[in-house]
Amino acid sequence: MEQVRPTRMELMLKRSQIRLAEQGRDLLREKMDALIGEFFKILNAVSNTREELEQVAKEADLALMIAQAVDDPVTLKSAAFATRRSITVGITGKNIMGVPVPVIEKKRISRHTMERGYGIISTSGRIDETAERFEAELDLLIQLAETETAMRRLGSEIQKTRRRVNALEQILIPELKSEAKYIRSAIEEREREDIFRLKKVKSILERKKKKVKEKKEAAK
């Protein structure tokens, strides 16, 4: 408090700083509430996609196991090599409450039987089903990558915003209020001292005035 000047101008400045800090805290709280709402929306989407992915992955594994058990291993392996290809994705971005999150633009993973590259005469429907299941799994994996990244970024922004709210609420605002209280107390104490001195001066002047009056009356 030694660096705080106990003046009315300083008190007005501290009160203005308190108002600004409280407004900033309230705005950050509103932002945090909105971010939390968006976070839970995405969390629900992620949860649903994970459940769907788990089911699709089980179906894909089962289809592969059946194909491995029934179809010729060489034919299965050849079909697998024929369907190998790169997956092209493009990443753009969007803002959710000021938080940049990725948007994955991808080509369709799932393909028609004729597009997979292996001969339909030499392969069975089991191989087609296996390829279809794993393509669906890849589609969901890419979708999940996008939503999970958005969820992590929102979670990080929520934590950052919460720390800023706590810093304002628990450190800055109490410090400013404490300084304002100190200044107000110092000003009030100074005013009391001024009033005391004025009363003392007034008392001295009245006594002097009384003595002068008494001397004038005695001289008569």
pLDDT tens sequence across 174-192: 999 999 999 999 888 888 8
Over residues 68-98, the pLDDT tens digits come to: 887 777 766 666 656 666 666 777 888 887 8
Give me the CATH number covering residue 129. Answer: 1.10.287.3240
Q: Is residue 7 domain-resident? A: no
Structure-model confidence comparison of residues 3 and 58, the more confident one: 58
End-to-end CA distance of the chain: 61
Amino acid, single-letter form, for residue 175: E
Please compute, for residue 32, the number of CA atoms within 13 A of its CA located in the half-sphere on the CB side.
16
pLDDT band, very low/low/confident/very high, at 126 (cuts 50, 70, 90): confident
- The SS3 assignment for 146 reads helix
Q: Considering the domain boundaries, does residue 212 fall inside one?
A: no
Residue with more model confidence, 141 or 206 = 141
Predicted pLDDT of residue 40: 92
Q: Per the domain annotation, does 125 fall within a domain?
A: yes
Tokens at residue 29, please? 């709280």
Q: Judge whether 61 lies within some domain.
A: yes
The total number of structural domains that make up the chain: 1
Does residue 85 lie within any of the structural domains?
yes
Give me the residues paired with residue 94 across strands. Answer: 101
